[in-house]
Amino acid sequence: MDLRQLAQDWEKFAKTDPLWAILINRERRGNKWRLEDFFKTGLDEVNGIMREVESMNLKIGHGRALDFGCGVGRLTRALANYFDEVSGVDISESMIRLAEKYNREIGKCRFYLNQRDDLRFFGDDTFDFVYSSITLQHMKPHYTTKYLNELLRIISPRGLLVFQLAEEQIGLKTLPNRSRMLAYKIRSRLMNRPIMEMHGIRKQSVISIISNDGGKTLKVERLPDQGPGWRSYRYFATK
Ligand SMILES: C[S@@+](CC[C@H](N)C(=O)[O-])C[C@H]1O[C@@H](n2cnc3c(N)ncnc32)[C@H](O)[C@@H]1O
């Protein structure tokens, strides 16, 4: 799926059931997420990460932060408790509009639409902290690689990049699984429903992408799987 199609699909999710598309939960399908519960999950996630950063004894600045693939600002809003200014970037215009609406009272958040495969409107060394969660796993790996290069470029020399990415377990690409995925895509397109693709990059390859770009992976931690056969990791990296 190319970026144009990706943007169109996320736009459809944003217009129909945005919170469910962001945090899939069978019981919350059909706009059943309570906003308060939804945003509480973001607060818990960011609080946990900030505790971890502190325990790593990293002296990061608390000026500017970026949330890449911000959706409606679930994590952007929580990051504003720790940073002076937080930017959220998303590929879907409706997600950005919702993020602005839900986070209006938090003056520190700014939201940007970006449908390019780079982040050229942010200069080098801009951010003290860059975060991305459950976003890079939903695009083709060559886009993920390009964005990782960009995210490393825009963190400051003493800044920290933290991101989640999935890894496909060997054996998942069996014929029945491929057929199921193909059937889901055909059915969705025929019914004019958006598709959420899932892609992984192996842990060792992610570490190589970071080091090929002159970065350093400080830590990788295993997260709960993103569904059967999809291992998930959180990476902590610096320039
Ligand atoms: C599963 S949601 C996660 C949203 C947010 N990170 C959170 O955890 O609340 C994935 C988000 O990534 C956005 N997205 C997908 N591809 C993107 C891209 N290439 N650039 C920016 N945002 C993207 C989607 O529009 C969607 O809002």
pLDDT of residue 171: 62
Rg for the chain, CA atoms, rounded: 17
66 lines ligand 1 (CB under 6 A): no
Which atom of ligand 1 is nearest to 3's Cα? 19
pLDDT of residue 173: 66
Distance (Å) from CA 71 to ligand 1 centroid:
5
* Domain chopping of the chain, boundaries: 3-238
H/E run at residue 158: strand 155-168
Closest CA to 196 of 81, 51, 71, 41: 71
CATH code for the part of the protein at 3-238: 3.40.50.150
φ, ψ for residue 124, nearest 5 deg: -60, 150
86 lines ligand 1 (CB under 6 A): no
The residue whose C-alpha atom lies closest to atom 26 belonging to ligand 1 is 71
133 lines ligand 1 (CB under 6 A): yes
H/E run at residue 238: strand 230-238
208 contact partners, CB below 8 Å, separation of at least 6: none
163 lines ligand 1 (CB under 6 A): no
φ, ψ for residue 139, nearest 5 deg: -140, 160
Q: Could you tell me how far CA 1 lies from the centroid of its own chain?
A: 17
Are the CB atoms for 132 and 46 separated by under 8 Å? no
Q: Along the 239 residues of the chain, how does pLDDT read in single tens digits?
A: 799 999 999 999 999 999 999 999 989 999 999 999 999 999 999 999 999 999 999 889 999 999 999 999 999 999 999 999 999 999 999 999 999 999 999 999 999 999 999 999 999 999 999 999 999 999 999 999 999 999 999 999 999 999 999 998 766 666 777 788 888 889 989 988 999 988 999 999 999 999 999 999 999 999 999 887 889 999 999 99
Task: Among 5, 6, 10, say which to mutate for ligand 1: greatest number of ligand atoms within 8 Å of CB.
Answer: 10
Task: Specify the pTM.
Answer: 0.95
